[in-house]
Amino acid sequence: MPDLIFMRNLTCVLIFVAAFFLCSCEGKLIAEKKDLLTQILAKGELIVLTTNEPTTYYFDRDNNPAGPEYEMTRSFAESIGVVVRFRVYSSVQEIFQALREGEGHIAAAGITVTEDRLAEFDFGAVYQTVSEQLVCHRNGKYIIRPEDLQKLEIVVPASSSYIDTLTGYLEAYPDLTWQVDEHLLPAQLMEKVWNGEIECTVCDSTIVDINRRYFPELAVKYNLAEESQLAWMFQKKNASLLQAAIEQWFVGFKESGEFALMQEKYYGYIEVFDYVDVRAFRRRIKQRYLKYNDMFMAAAEANDLPVSLLAALSYQESHWNPRAKSPTGVRGMMMLTQPVAKSYGVTSRLDPESNIHAGAKHFSRMKKRIGLDVPEPIRTWLALAAYNVGFGHFRDAQKLAVRHGRNPNCWVTLKEILPQLSQKEYYSTLLYGYARGNEPVRYVTRVRDYRDMFEQFIVNDELEEE
């Protein structure tokens, strides 16, 4: 990794030096001196224009900046040896205008590459492909054929690629209409659909996947466009060196595995949407969880764990049912085996308080056994897998990863390796033998999903008694 970063830096420095010192026959600097990359390097700062959304840039539960665009732009800035500064806008339309007026160097806000935009701006490497989806209330009209779109009230954000997509339908379906909202972002329009204030909107599939879990009555009624490409956008004038530097950085970002880690961090826990499960989870927060909130708070604090993680772990195990029992004999809120319960002094696994505290201690011990040198949140994900499959099987999976020449402390790797524990060619060579290796992968995904929804409900005060 250090060598890769060094080569990126060295290449960019050489580009800068070449641009600075090449002169015309009159002794004046050639046009590349004014290239955006030259300006960024000279200033020592990359100014990024973005929006405040889960798919772009936001502050996490610890008030630290986060988001896919944050991770990527920070990595690019580091690769050319500058710091990054973000300017946050309320809409894509505002970002476009700010870019035109030179208020920043690049726009990084999940921006789709379109022909109209290419006529005015340049783009960096395509980093993600999404679908553009029509989102309406699940009880709304059925949309079977594209001509059914003509029946709808559709509202889309101003300056969005969705306008271009809808315009493409007009020739065949001239009665299709839509309204443009000058102020709201796609996720905010989705909430208006959920509240019944508007009938439908259009969003990227990534935005839909994240927000649909918070607004479960929403439904994807139609895929308007497949394979829309997202990329950073910047002014067309004098941007050739910047464009080349971004493309070179992105090659290294993918080859190093950093891109896969980022995708896993922000999208890896989102499964196929399950309306019934999400509704049940929200209902059980009030019907079941609130009775045990103080117990979870105390156990989380005693073991230095986020209460949202502990609550999500317990929901995945027992749906917060203190009398839960599995066919294998594990019991209670945290579904403890008899030996584990005994090791933590639990005399009755049906007692919710002692069960929750023992489960919290057991999970905390798993995290310590994973190793303090493994960074968060990866250490938590690995500990969740070990909690589910057992530490012996987990170590077997790590050994398999090493055999394959992979990093045994990387969740992206373990997600691929764990299912091999159920394949005879692999488990027959391991100390602890067969295990249902797909189960811990799904387990980690579900816990992460429940935790994310739980935290959103806390923000929206849904933990209060009605």
301-326 tens-digit pLDDT: 999 999 999 999 999 999 999 999 88
Q: Per the omega criterion (within 30 degrees of 0), is the bond before 377 cis? A: yes
Catalytic residue status for 317: yes
Task: Write down the pLDDT at residue 61.
Answer: 64
- Which amino acid does the sequence have at 56? T
The pTM of this model reads 0.75
- For the chain, the average pLDDT equals 88
Q: Residue 154, SS3?
A: strand
| Residue 62 binned pLDDT confidence (cut-offs 50, 70, 90) | low
Specify the pairing of strand 45-51 against strand 106-107: parallel
Task: Write down the pLDDT at residue 253.
Answer: 96
Instruction: Using the structure block, give the residue that is written with the tokens 């989806």.
Output: 133
129-229 homologous superfamily: Periplasmic binding protein-like II (3.40.190.10)
The CA-atom distances, in angstroms, between 5 and each of 260, 354, 407 are 17, 49, 19
Let me know if domain 2-126+231-267 sits in CATH 3.40.190.10: yes
In angstroms, how far is CA 273 from the centroid of its own chain?
15
Domain ranges of the chain: 2-126+231-267, 129-229, 275-459
In angstroms, how far is CA 325 from the centroid of its own chain?
33
Q: How far apart are CA 46 and CA 80, in angstroms?
A: 10
- Which amino acid does the sequence have at 423? Q
Task: Write down the pLDDT at residue 64.
Answer: 86
* Tokens standing for residue 143: 């949309």
- Which amino acid does the sequence have at 106? I
Instruction: Give the active site residue among 53, 69, 317, 455.
Output: 317
The CA-atom distances, in angstroms, between 341 and each of 321, 345, 360 are 17, 6, 11
CATH number of 275-459: 1.10.530.10
Domains 129-229 and 275-459 share a fold: no
Q: What is the pLDDT of residues 244-297, one digit of tens each?
A: 999 999 999 999 999 999 999 888 877 767 778 888 998 899 899 999 999 999
* Tokens standing for residue 103: 């208020």
